[in-house]
C-alpha cells in the first residue's frame, strides 16, 4: 500500500468533496495519509480529520511563513496538540526565505522552538525549507536534529545537500516535481540517495505530478511519482511502494 507522507486535506481546495475523496483512498491503494499542519487552524482541522478516519494521521506545526501567529499562549496550545495520540509528527516547520514574511529572525526563533518541542514530545519533524539551505541546516545541527529525526519535505536542494541530511538521519520527501521536465535537480537527488531514505508525498493540493500538472493534486496521483522513482532507480513500481511504506512507518513510528 501507498503511504502518503504529506498532504493538506484541510485546505479549502477540498471543501466540495473532502469526505468523498478521503473515503475513496483505501480502495485506491492509499493506505495511510499524514495531514500536515501549516498553521494553528490547519493543525486543529488536521486532527479532526485524523479522529474521523482511521488511516489518517496528523502533524501539528506552524509553517515558517505563518509563524507571526505564534506567541507563548498559542505555542502552549500547539504543545498540547502534539500530545494527541494521532499526531505523528511536528510540522511543517522550518524556514522559507522566498517569502519575506515574517522576518528571518522570527522564522528562525519559532523554527528552533518547534524543534525543541519535537524533542520534548519525542516525535519526528517535517521540515519545510525554501531558499534557506544554510540557515536550516545550521539550526538543525545546533538543535541536535539527529536525535529528533524526520523528513525534509518537498526537497529542493542539491544532491550533495540531500546526502548531508541523510547522514543526519533525515528522510527526503519526493513529490510531483520529480515528474516535471525541469525537475532535473530532484531526479539527481533521487539517483544519489538510497531508496531507504526516500518518502512519497504529494503536498496536495499543490504540485500535481505530470500528466496532471497544474490541476488540484491529491494522493491518488502518487502512483505517477512512485513510477518515476522506479524508473530512476531501476526498481519495480511495487518495490518502490513497499520500501517507501516501510521508511514512512519507521519515521512516523506507525506499526503494521
Ligand atoms: Ni506542505
**Averages of pLDDT over each 10 residues, the chain, 256 residues:** 98 98 97 98 98 98 98 98 98 95 97 98 98 97 98 97 97 98 96 98 97 97 98 98 98 95
Q: What is the pLDDT of residue 256?
A: 87
pTM of the model: 0.97
Asked whether 86 and 58 are in contact (CB, 8 A), the reply is yes
- What's the gap in Å between 35 CA and the centre of ligand 1? 9
- What's the gap in Å between 178 CA and the centre of ligand 1? 16
Q: What is the pLDDT of residue 100?
A: 86
For the chain, domains (ranges, CATH) are 2-252 (3.20.20.140)
Give every strand in the sheet of 87-96, ordered side by side: 2-7, 30-36, 56-60, 87-96, 125-130, 150-152, 170-174, 198-200
pLDDT in tens, 172-199: 999 999 999 999 999 999 999 999 999 9
Residue 245, CB-side half-sphere exposure with 13 Å CA sphere: 16
- What's the gap in Å between 238 CA and the centre of ligand 1? 25
Concatenated DSSP letters of 56-122: EEEEE---GGGGGG--HHHHHHHHHHHTSTTEEEEEEEEEE-SS--S-HHHHHHHHHHHHHHHHHHT
- What's the gap in Å between 160 CA and the centre of ligand 1? 23
- What's the gap in Å between 158 CA and the centre of ligand 1? 20
Paired residues of 3 in beta bridges: 32
- What's the gap in Å between 8 CA and the centre of ligand 1? 7
Q: Which three cell numbers stand for residue 207?
A: 504540485
- What's the gap in Å between 202 CA and the centre of ligand 1? 8
**DSSP assigned state of 204:** B
Amino acid at each position: 500500500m501507498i503511504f502518503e507522507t504529506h498532504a493538506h486535506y484541510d485546505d479549502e481546495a477540498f471543501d466540495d468533496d473532502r469526505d468523498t475523496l478521503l473515503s475513496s483512498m483505501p480502495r485506491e491503494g492509499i493506505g495511510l495519509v499524514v495531514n500536515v499542519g501549516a498553521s494553528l487552524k490547519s493543525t486543529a482541522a488536521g486532527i479532526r480529520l485524523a479522529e474521523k478516519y482511521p488511516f489518517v494521521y496528523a502533524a501539528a506545526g506552524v509553517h515558517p511563513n505563518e509563524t507571526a501567529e505564534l506567541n507563548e499562549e498559542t505555542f502552549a496550545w500547539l504543545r498540547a496538540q502534539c500530545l494527541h495520540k494521532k499526531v505523528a509528527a511536528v510540522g511543517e516547520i522550518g524556514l522559507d526565505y522566498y517569502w519575506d514574511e515574517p522576518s528571518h529572525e522570527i522564522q528562525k526563533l519559532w523554527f528552533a522552538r518547534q524543534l525543541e518541542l519535537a524533542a520534548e514530545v519525542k516525535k519526528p519533524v517535517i521540515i519545510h525549507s525554501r531558499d534557506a539551505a544554510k540557515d536550516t541546516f545550521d539550526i538543525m545541527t545546533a538543535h541536535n536534529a539527529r536525535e529528533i529525526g524526520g523528513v525534509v519535505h518537498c526537497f529542493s536542494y542539491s544532491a550533495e545537500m540531500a546526502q548531508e541530511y541523510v547522514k543526519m538521519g533525515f528522510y527526503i520527501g519526493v513529490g510531483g516535481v520529480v515528474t516535471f521536465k525541469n525537475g532535473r535537480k530532484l531526479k539527481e537527488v533521487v539517483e544519489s540517495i538510497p531508496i531507504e531514505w526516500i518518502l512519497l508525498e504529494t503536498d496536495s493540493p499543490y504540485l500535481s505530478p505530470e500528466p496532471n500538472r497544474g490541476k488540484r493534486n491529491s494522493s491518488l496521483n502518487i502512483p505517477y511519482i512512485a513510477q518515476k522513482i522506479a524508473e530512476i532507480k531501476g526498481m519495480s513500481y511495487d518495490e518502490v511502494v513497499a520500501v517507501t511504506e516501510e521508511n514512512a512507518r519507521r519515521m512516523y513510528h506507525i506499526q503494521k
